Amino acid sequence: MTDSPQTVGSRTAGSPIPQLTDPRVIRAVELVWQEADLLDRKEYQTWQELYAEDAYYVVPIDAATEDFADTLNMVYDDARMRRMRVTRMTEGYSIAAVDAARTVRTVSRFVPVEVLADEVTLRSAQVVVAYKRGRHDVWAGEVTHRISLSESGDRIALKVVRLIDSEDAVPAAGFLL
């Protein structure tokens, strides 16, 4: 991550919010929406191509932690673990692949946290409604995406899903948040 004269800045209490109309922010939001669409359509192979090779996908238990490597997480996936998770969800006879819930995501309330020349960090609200075996479950949380911007294609560098009920008993999900 490089800071440059094109830096809009970090969002702190009392500081101005970088504009949602900034072309870099628009690109980042569009990538997040594309990710949500791919996940709802269960296009997991294409979904994982949205991620940079060194990216992490994290669902922490402690909503306040920033130290994901040294704390307990529901999900802490690097590229290898994402590939394994996608394989489990798409191949063979596994409960995750055969009896997966149908989902609909709403991702909104985008807040640009940091806007650099080649990277945008966004905070957003996400609600996932999952339907399986006649039952609806609702998963809600705040999501942070760090998006690497490049002329060769924008990629997700980090995704952190902080579920609002992460410290309670959370049912197993046969889908990605």
Please give the pLDDT value at position 93. 60
| Burial letters 11-27, b for 16+ CB under 10 A, else e | beeeeeebeeeeebbee
Cβ neighbourhood burial of 133 (10 Å; 0-12, 13-18, 19+): exposed
| Intervals of the chain under pLDDT 50 | 1-11
pLDDT in tens, 37-76: 999 999 999 999 999 999 999 999 998 999 999 999 999 9
In the chain, which ranges are E strands? 9-10, 51-60, 73-77, 102-115, 119-132, 135-148, 155-163
Element (H, E) at 85: helix 79-90
User: Phi and psi for 46 in degrees, rounded to 5?
Assistant: -70, -40
Cα gap 30→6, rounded to integer Å: 21
Cα gap 19→26, rounded to integer Å: 9
Give all domains of the chain, ordered by start, each with its CATH number.
Answer: 18-163 (3.10.450.50)
Provide the 10 A C-beta neighbour count for residue 173.
19
Tokens of 66: 């920033």
Q: What is the pTM of this model?
A: 0.85
Terminal Cα-to-Cα distance of the chain (whole angstroms): 26
Cα gap 154→47, rounded to integer Å: 13
